[in-house]
Amino acid sequence: MSKLEFTIDDIFGDSLNLKLEKESNVQEPIVNKVDEKPKLIKVMKDGIIILSEELMNKVKKKNLSASTISSFFQCPADWLMDSFILPLIDHEEPIYFVRGHIFHDAMENFFRLSKKNRNRKTLSQITMKVIKDKYKNVLNDKETMMWVKEALQGYIETGFPYKDVTVAQIIKDEHKGPELGVEIFVKGKLGDTTKNVVGFIDRVDQQADGTLQIVDYKSGGKIYPFDPSKEISDSNDFGYWRQQLAYTMLLEQAGHKVSRAILEFPIAKGTVEVDVFNENLRKQVEKDFEAVDSALNKCIENNFFPFNGHFFCKWCGMLSPNFKISKYGNLNVSWADLSQYVEHLQ
């Protein structure tokens, strides 16, 4: 099979030459400090206390997800800040998140097309439209535009099926019509959790035998396959498998039969298949969600979210004198913005 090549112009036209208008957003400084809003949290030496009753109620209502397990157990304080404080302040999202969003949005729109309209040209056109509509700030970022080109080219060259894929029609509510199986929201309880487990499935395909296949896109540059015959550890990460098994179990609760779950890596150019029938791993998924559910409830009950200082933590080194800023999680945020919501340790 001949190698398929995309040029930047083939995919994005003259978008790399576009000049974005600069917008000014000058705000007058706040002089009247009497009108400042009450702080939402208080930073202690070893952790964080919630001061706001409204924020505490939001935390209590927070659903669980596959990402909650890793992020919360790495550091409860970091999870709290990322989930509830960071969205309130101006911050720049890491570029690898932006790139992943672009690819996922493009795939969602691409698989909304009929089979006959899915081809390389429509994939590149859809991707360009996604960027212009939602991510204009990367149009002049040549490195990111090259990354997107590599992702699209990798997706085609790896041979991921797309022309003949039948995207499933998922019935989630008997009183409503079926929903196309792209970015499907799932929700339910796993094990004895007190909170709901939620998530969005990238794509759900209809198999020839009537069963469903779950597909999840992973935009990382390497594939770290989980080995179910070995103990779960940092070097044998269960995260991707846990996510797919959780989605499988939630779809089954809704009355669907799932026969397969795969991970597609367009940059790393590979596929990983998850064993959705492994009962021991299903029990592990329930155990993991029960554990994070219990730990989160304990933090809520004690109103204390400790700093753990995990090497991926973004906040421990910034807020606690006990830890240094991690090279893996540096945040570009304004202390002035942060101080609107955070009472710092004196």
Query: What pLDDT score does 36 carry?
Result: 67
Rounded CA-CA distance 253/128 in Å is: 38
Measured in degrees and rounded to the nearest 5, phi and psi for residue 45 equal -65, -40
pTM of the model: 0.86
Minimum mean pLDDT among 237-251, 286-300, 310-324: which range?
A: 310-324
pLDDT value for 191: 96
Instruction: Read off the pLDDT of residues 299-330 as tens digits, 9 standing for 90 and up.
Output: 999 999 999 988 778 888 888 888 887 776 66
Share of the chain above pLDDT 90, in %: 72
Question: Phi first, then psi: what are they for 244, rounded to 5°?
Answer: -70, -35
pLDDT of 187 strictly over 60: yes
For the segment 133-149, the average pLDDT, to the nearest whole number, is 96
Higher pLDDT, 36 or 161: 161
CA nearest neighbour of 166 among 128, 123, 114, 120 = 114
The DSSP symbol for 236 reads B
Q: What pLDDT, in 10s, does the model give residues 11-64?
A: 444 433 443 344 444 454 544 444 567 899 999 989 999 999 999 999 999 999
Q: Please determine, for residue 116, whether its predicted confidence score (pLDDT) is greater than 50.
A: yes
pLDDT level of residue 5 (50, 70, 90 thresholds): very low
Average pLDDT on 62-72 reads 94
Domain ranges in the chain? 34-91+292-343, 169-226+233-291
pLDDT of 3 > 80? The answer is no
Question: If we measure between CA atoms, which residue out of 249, 277, 243, 233 comes closest to residue 263?
Answer: 243
pLDDT mean over 150-178: 90
The pLDDT of residue 26 is 47
Give the pLDDT score at 336: 85
274: left (phi over 0), alpha (psi -120 to 50) or beta: beta
Residues facing residue 206 across a β-bridge? 212
Which pLDDT belongs to residue 309? Answer: 84
Per-residue pLDDT tens digits for 262-283: 999 999 999 999 999 999 999 9
